Amino acid sequence: MRHVPGRRCQTFIFRLPTGDGVRVEVADNSTAVPLAIKRDELDDGGRGLILVNAVTDDWGVVKRRDGTGKTVRFECVDRKRATGDRARFSPRPPTGPRP
């Protein structure tokens, strides 16, 4: 929320329909798409999406159809409750925003 213009945004937390995790969405009016960029370890900021990528199971950015903003979302799955493919952990390298 620190980087949202005017620091105005909406945050939503949903329980996944499968009951094995949560989905968090942060919506704002900015059209700028955040990027997961590797930064110097001594920089004051710029590692937010790198951290999101490291600790979540899935994340992405969805632009509003009318062009007035976007939603950044991520999901975290409880491996003890998950079944099938969701029960397996598959680390991935930072790739940047994806739908």
pLDDT tens sequence across 19-75: 889 999 999 998 888 887 777 777 777 778 888 888 999 999 999 999 999 999 999
Distance of CA 12 to the CA centre of its chain: 12
Measured CA angle at 42 (ends 39, 44), to 5 deg? 80
- Among 37, 57, 56, CA closest to 47: 37
Does the predicted model carry a pTM greater than 0.75? no
Cα distance between residue 19 and residue 30, in whole Å: 32
Cα distance between residue 55 and residue 58, in whole Å: 9
Q: Inform me whether the pLDDT recorded for 16 exceeds 80.
A: yes
16 or 45, higher pLDDT: 16
Tokens of 18: 């499968």
